[in-house]
Amino acid sequence: MYPISSSDRALGDVLVARGVLSLPQLDEAAGLAGMWHVRLGDAILARNWVEPAVYYQAIAFHFQLPFVDLIKDPPDPDLMSLGETESYARKLMIPWKESDGQIIIATAEPGPDLILLARQRWGNAISFAVASKPDIVWAIQASLSDKMTHRAIYELAEQTLDMSAQQVFKPGQVVFGYSVLTVLMLGPALAPVATLVAINVLMSIFYLGNLVFKGILGCVGIHLEFITAAAR
């Protein structure tokens, strides 16, 4: 059985002392956490013994940090980066608010490792608050949904316009199209016989090319079928 960390054990004692869990429940959760190789909190929440908000309020009390409800008080979307969405979700921490020159980081898993990561990302001018894991996941989706939608629609056009369907026709194609249309409109009036002959020739070439293309596809199909039958 995988042993739980000393931090989880201390948190478990706080939960029992606050009446959130009974001692038998704590012992069972510790056993499940060791068996499943997960955090103690994940085992507790998996058993539905306590509401997530109550559990994370106990975490905030344990670490002497404020508890925030991200549904009622969502994060500032300007502080969040679309490129770090995966990191936010994996580390369960997001930049929540900026106050007095400090960025307040909301996290579901406070601790020394997270403090180190946060300082590497945002510097030393940071403070922390505790939020529930479901709230953080929701906040990431809600705050970055507009940016995700914009990227899905416009990213290709902004990076490589030639590969995007946003630009339907290039300037050269537009000029060529107008030129052909002008010839087709003026041709019958200025030289009707020559225009009809030219159109007839072009249509004949088109249909001949179409016939040749279909013939090539038929030959390729027969050849592939022969190879497949021989392989069997």
The 10s digit of each residue's pLDDT in 101-112 is 999 999 998 988
Tell me the CATH number for domain 77-159: 3.30.300
Is the pLDDT assigned to residue 96 strictly greater than 90? yes
Question: Which residues in the chain are classed under CATH 3.30.300?
Answer: 77-159
Residue 71 is given by DSSP the state T
CA distance 160 to 163: 6
Which tokens go with 27? 């012992």
- What is the tens place of the pLDDT at every residue in 149-206? 656 566 555 566 555 555 556 677 777 777 777 776 777 777 777 777 788 888 888 8
Q: What is the pTM of this model?
A: 0.62
Using alpha carbons only, what angle is made at residue 114 by residues 102 and 18, rounded to the nearest 5 degrees? Answer: 95
- What is the tens place of the pLDDT at every residue in 55-93? 999 899 988 999 999 999 999 988 988 889 889 999 999
